[in-house]
């Protein structure tokens, strides 16, 4: 009998999942027979089962609802708001009783006669008051699929823990294989084992996944009840319910999502009279959608209400002492809107039972960031507000970078890492401003803090001997964390740390290294806060600073790396935006005549490889940026940040390699970034040797993209203030400048249609550019 009751409870839960949305949708469209039938089917099933299990109260409630719905099905009665509210109240009561039966408790006391009486035609709508607050917001768990089995959560967690241990064992074996002499047979067997473990981990992870529909299903009912309480009319549009998310993640974002929606209904969407005055329709629209982007789930909540007045947020923040008036005047609109997440900065004109006490949105952001997510807000006064929750698919296994201070090892989530640089590199300077550390990295000033100082650990390294890990915490600006050493990128199994450890605010959890030793995983935002980093103030102070690298110096910073073919190559640091890692089989494929890679929501041309069949497993990709366009460049590993201080031997023919030079005592091929972009955007011809060319020193594109190709072809490049006479001066189109005596001005256009082919050339028209240079210096060789 216990097994039969368990099946009855599970079946009721599965059917209850979708009923809240079905009834609200049925109210909006009473002629929708399919929804009416599904509601009728539920109460009919409950009534039949109750007679078998001797649950008379459940049977009476379901029987009464069945009769009323049967009248609607036969056309004897037209459904109205009163009937819908009465049916909702009965389903709420049924849900409470099912929960009590599942918990082995007595059914809740009370008289159901008022609920049953409310079903009668012409009855007053008192039933809605009987609906419990818990039923309004909480969606029942469960998944309905054609063939399912029910497993305890504890069993799934135990299996997942076993797979996690397998991942750790694989990491340790990988380390030992790297240290020992390699054998092809052993390496091949290890790769197969790694693939099997990865597939098993993915399969087990899928068992933990649930459709986000389980989170969305209660929203129509919640919005309906809230809007009725507030005297508003709100239509809910839900999309993306088939997106799957880790079951723990669903529970963790339930409260933040609920709070955002309550705020949207309470303070975002206006009363019908106000909406009509502003030229809107009476019914407000609230859209909730979900979609997957890479290893993240994006949940968007948008309303067409009155929006957020950024100026009011700023005034409130200044009045509360959150920011200074001078700093407020320099804030961008996005920074102003982000103030809504500061504690106590609600702009609600009145406090209601639903929201408006200024204690909500800061908790929403902290809860989302605690699980590695981000909350973004955008709003237009009079038009509405949009919020986006970006959360990871799962919490169990994450890629991380291990670092150390002395003999102590720690882990940092890879998703928060922007780049890694040496503190003593030529493109990096360290200084103290007002007692706080500031690092200038290629002209960008960011806060800098030493991990050893935060933790109070002894370190034998000086500041300029350490390595800087540039971090961007969820929802924040960047800062540089100085560590003694960096180690491997690994997939680490993350588990909750002890409460006393988590209370420090520094850590997001605990994990194990590949040798089984415990490692604490940092919370990048917590590190910044405990370390006293003033993210917004310092970062705003450094914005707009151009590159500090001397543009006419032979000491050129480059990123030394190893290509997929094993060759040592170098790229000018100025054209590398960031480094990303993708699964080749999922993200790389031929498309539109060339190989392309998907990086997040962007699809970029991919260089560095000729054949997609060369890819296996994960591939690292440079994201190259010329200021307007992006391309990807596949590579094996980064070797180091170096400087070119020797003569470059130019290549004989134009191509991806512009020349070769010695870097750190070994040959390295220099990548021609201009050629790569021109290959995808314009024609390519062999360059001609010319005389002297003057380039503006403050133009990053010309120095990083154009100068290497001109120098590799044998030109002498001079700066704006150089006294040497130039045969041709190249400037961006629209610049007013006089040519040197006997020289010529050549203007580069960013739009192909704006170039006339004589005095102005499209900047990726390599043939036109070189022809113009040849013409301007003809006879001067």
Q: Residue 96 in contact with residue 9, Cβ under 8 Å?
A: no
Residue 120, token pair as written in the block: 């009668």
Sign of CA dihedral 759, 764, 768, 771: positive
Q: For domain 211-392, give the fold.
A: Heat Shock Protein 90 (3.30.565)
Phi and psi of 383, rounded to 5°?
-110, -35
In three-state secondary structure terms, 487 is: strand
DSSP assignment letter at 495: B
Where is average pLDDT lowest: 616-620, 627-631, 666-670, 774-778?
774-778
d(CA 695, CA 192): 54
pLDDT, average across residues 639-650: 76
pLDDT, average across residues 443-451: 84
3-state secondary structure 749-765: ECCHHHCCCCCEEECCC
pLDDT, average across residues 323-329: 80
d(CA 759, CA 747): 6
d(CA 659, CA 91): 75
Residue 258, token pair as written in the block: 């609920």
pLDDT tens digits, 90-140:
888 888 888 888 787 877 777 788 888 888 887 755 444 444 434 434 333
Percent of the chain with pLDDT over 70: 80
Residue 521, token pair as written in the block: 């995983």
Indicate the pLDDT class of residue 302, thresholds 50, 70 and 90: very high
pLDDT tens digits, 752-778:
888 876 678 888 888 788 777 767 656
Strands (E), 115-168: none
- Picking from 511, 280, 483, 300, the residue whose alpha carbon sits closest to that of residue 399 is 511
Q: Residue 50 in contact with residue 60, Cβ under 8 Å?
A: no
pLDDT at 128: 43
pLDDT at 357: 35
Beta pairing class for 760-762 and 744-749 = parallel
DSSP assignment letter at 574: G
Place of tokens 């001797």: 54
d(CA 667, CA 3): 73
Where is average pLDDT lowest: 154-163, 245-254, 528-537, 551-560?
551-560
Domain boundaries, the chain: 2-131, 153-208, 211-392, 397-542, 556-681, 692-776
Residue 178 CB burial class (10 angstroms; 0-12, 13-18, ≥19): exposed
Sign of CA dihedral 52, 56, 58, 61: positive
Q: List CB contacts of 734: < 8 A, sequence separation 6 or more.
A: 747
pLDDT at 547: 32
pLDDT, average across residues 162-167: 78
d(CA 707, CA 549): 14
- Picking from 307, 270, 258, 265, the residue whose alpha carbon sits closest to that of residue 286 is 265
Indicate the pLDDT class of residue 351, thresholds 50, 70 and 90: very low
Q: What angle do CA 731, 736, 737 make, to 5 degrees?
A: 70
pLDDT tens digits, 705-747:
888 777 766 678 888 877 778 878 888 887 878 877 778 888 8
Count of H-run helices and E-run strands, the chain? 27, 35
Q: Which residue has the higher pLDDT, 375 or 293?
A: 375
d(CA 310, CA 315): 9
CA 616 to chain centroid: 25
pLDDT at 42: 81
Radius of gyration of the chain from its Cα atoms, rounded to whole angstroms: 32
CA atoms within 13 A on the CB side of 589: 6
Indicate the pLDDT class of residue 674, thresholds 50, 70 and 90: confident
Question: Given a cut of 60, is residue 542 above it in pLDDT?
Answer: no
- Helix or strand (DSSP H, E) at 630: strand 630-635
pLDDT tens digits, 355-368:
443 346 777 887 78
The CATH number assigned to the domain with range 2-131 reads 1.20.120.160
**For the ranges 330-344, 386-400, 625-639, the one whose mean pLDDT is highest:** 625-639
Q: Is 422 left (phi over 0), alpha (psi -120 to 50) or beta?
A: beta
The overall longest dimension of the chain from CA atoms, in Å, is 107
Percent of the chain with pLDDT over 90: 4
Place of tokens 């290890």: 190
d(CA 353, CA 218): 20
d(CA 227, CA 272): 11
Where is average pLDDT lowest: 313-327, 408-422, 461-475, 767-781?
767-781
Question: Given a cut of 80, is residue 53 above it in pLDDT?
Answer: no
pLDDT at 144: 36
Question: Given a cut of 80, is residue 306 above it in pLDDT?
Answer: yes
Question: Given a cut of 90, is residue 301 above it in pLDDT?
Answer: yes
User: What's this model's pTM, rounded to 2 decimal places?
Assistant: 0.45
pLDDT at 269: 92
pLDDT at 271: 92
Q: Which residue has the higher pLDDT, 549 or 704?
A: 704
The listed CATH number (2.60.290.11, 2.40.50.180, 3.90.1170.40, 3.50.50.60) that belongs to domain 397-542? 2.40.50.180
CA atoms within 13 A on the CB side of 336: 19
What mean pLDDT, rounded, does the chain reach? 77
Question: Given a cut of 60, is residue 402 above it in pLDDT?
Answer: yes
d(CA 19, CA 98): 15
Where is average pLDDT lowest: 138-152, 169-183, 622-636?
138-152
Q: Residue 169 in contact with residue 176, Cβ under 8 Å?
A: no
Phi and psi of 461, rounded to 5°?
-95, 145
d(CA 359, CA 341): 9
Indicate the pLDDT class of residue 396, thresholds 50, 70 and 90: low
Q: List CB contacts of 618: < 8 A, sequence separation 6 or more.
A: 581, 582, 583, 584
Question: Given a cut of 50, is residue 81 above it in pLDDT?
Answer: yes
DSSP assignment letter at 706: I
Q: Residue 676 in contact with residue 607, Cβ under 8 Å?
A: yes
d(CA 427, CA 421): 9
pLDDT at 159: 81
Question: Given a cut of 70, is residue 353 above it in pLDDT?
Answer: no
Q: List CB contacts of 639: < 8 A, sequence separation 6 or more.
A: 560, 561, 562, 568
pLDDT tens digits, 472-526:
775 567 888 989 888 877 667 666 666 677 667 788 777 766 566 778 888 887 7
Q: Give 599's strand partners.
A: 602
pLDDT at 686: 39
d(CA 316, CA 341): 12
Question: Given a cut of 50, is residue 143 above it in pLDDT?
Answer: no
Question: Given a cut of 50, is residue 214 above it in pLDDT?
Answer: yes
């Amino acid at each position: 009998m216990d097994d039969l009751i368990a099946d009855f409870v599970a079946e009721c839960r599965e059917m209850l999942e979708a009923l809240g949305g079905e009834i609200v949708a049925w109210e909006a469209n009473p002629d929708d027979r399919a929804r009416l039938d599904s509601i009728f089917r539920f109460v009919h099933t409950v009534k039949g089962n109750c007679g078998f299990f001797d649950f008379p109260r459940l049977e009476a409630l379901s029987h009464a609802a069945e009769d009323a719905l049967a009248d609607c099905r036969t056309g004897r009665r037209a459904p109205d708001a009163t009937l819908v509210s009465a049916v909702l109240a009965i389903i709420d009561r049924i849900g409470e009783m099912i929960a009590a039966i599942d918990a082995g408790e007595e059914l809740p006391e009370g008289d159901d006669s008022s609920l049953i009486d409310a079903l009668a035609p012409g009855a007053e709508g008192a039933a809605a008051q009987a609906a419990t607050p818990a039923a309004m917001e909480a969606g029942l768990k469960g998944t309905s699929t054609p063939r399912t089995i029910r497993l305890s959560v504890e069993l799934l967690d135990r299996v997942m823990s076993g797979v996690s241990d397998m991942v750790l064992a694989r990491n340790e074996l990988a380390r030992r294989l790297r240290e020992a002499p390699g054998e092809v047979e052993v390496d091949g067997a290890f790769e197969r084992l790694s693939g099997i473990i990865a597939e098993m981990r993915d399969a087990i992870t899928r068992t933990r996944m649930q459709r986000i529909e389980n989170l969305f299903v209660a929203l129509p009912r919640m919005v309906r009840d809230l809007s009725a309480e507030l005297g508003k009319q709100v239509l809910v549009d839900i999309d993306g319910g088939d997106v799957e998310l880790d079951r723990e993640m669903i529970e963790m974002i339930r409260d933040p999502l609920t709070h955002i929606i309550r705020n949207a209904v309470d303070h975002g969407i206006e009363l019908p009279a106000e909406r009509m005055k502003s030229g809107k329709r009476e019914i407000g629209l609230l859209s909730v959608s979900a979609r997957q982007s890479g290893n993240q789930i994006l949940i968007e909540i948008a309303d067409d209400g009155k929006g957020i007045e950024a100026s009011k947020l700023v005034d409130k923040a200044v009045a509360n002492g959150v920011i200074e008036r001078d700093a407020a005047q320099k804030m961008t609109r996005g920074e102003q809107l982000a103030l809504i997440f500061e504690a106590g900065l609600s702009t609600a004109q009145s406090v209601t039972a639903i929201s408006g006490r200024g204690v909500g949105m800061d908790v929403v952001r902290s809860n989302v960031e605690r699980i590695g997510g981000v909350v973004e807000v955008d709003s237009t006064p009079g038009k509405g507000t949009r919020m986006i929750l970006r959360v990871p698919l799962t919490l169990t296994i994450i890629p991380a970078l291990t670092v150390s201070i002395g003999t102590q090892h720690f882990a940092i989530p890879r998703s928060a890492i922007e780049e890694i640089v040496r503190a003593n590199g030529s493109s990096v300077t360290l200084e103290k401003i007002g007692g706080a550390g500031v690092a200038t990295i290629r002209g960008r000033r960011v806060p800098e803090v030493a991990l050893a100082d935060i933790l109070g650990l002894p370190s034998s390294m000086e500041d300029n001997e350490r390595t800087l890990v540039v971090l961007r915490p969820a929802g924040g600006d960047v800062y540089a964390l100085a560590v003694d050493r960096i180690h491997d990128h690994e997939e680490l199994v993350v588990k909750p740390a002890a409460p006393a450890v988590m209370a420090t605010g520094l850590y997001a959890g605990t994990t194990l290294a590949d040798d089984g030793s415990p490692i604490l995983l940092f919370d990048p935002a917590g590190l910044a806060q405990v370390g006293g980093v003033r993210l917004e103030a310092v970062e705003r102070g450094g914005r707009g600073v151009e590159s500090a690298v001397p543009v006419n110096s032979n000491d050129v910073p480059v990123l030394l790396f190893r290509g997929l073919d094993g060759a040592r190559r170098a790229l000018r640091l100025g054209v590398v935006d960031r480094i990303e890692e993708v699964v080749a089989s999922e993200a790389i494929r031929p498309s539109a005549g060339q190989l392309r890679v998907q990086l997040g929501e962007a699809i970029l041309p991919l260089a560095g490889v000729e054949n997609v069949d060369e890819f296996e497993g994960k591939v690292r990709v440079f994201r190259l940026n010329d200021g307007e366009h992006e391309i990807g460049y596949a590579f094996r590993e980064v070797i180091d940040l170096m400087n070119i201080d020797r003569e470059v031997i130019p290549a004989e023919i134009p191509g991806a390699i512009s020349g070769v030079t010695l870097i750190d005592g070994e040959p390295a091929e220099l990548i021609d970034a201009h050629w790569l972009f021109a290959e995808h955007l314009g024609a390519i011809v062999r360059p001609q040797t010319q005389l002297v060319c003057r380039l503006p020193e403050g133009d990053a594109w010309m120095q990083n993209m154009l100068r290497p190709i001109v120098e590799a072809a044998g030109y002498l490049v001079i700066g704006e203030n150089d006294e040497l006479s130039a045969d041709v001066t190249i400037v961006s189109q629209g610049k007013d400048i006089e040519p040197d005596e006997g020289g010529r001005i050549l203007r580069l256009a960013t739009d192909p249609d704006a170039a006339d082919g004589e005095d102005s050339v499209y900047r990726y028209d390599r043939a036109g550019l070189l022809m113009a240079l040849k013409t301007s210096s003809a006879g001067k060789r």
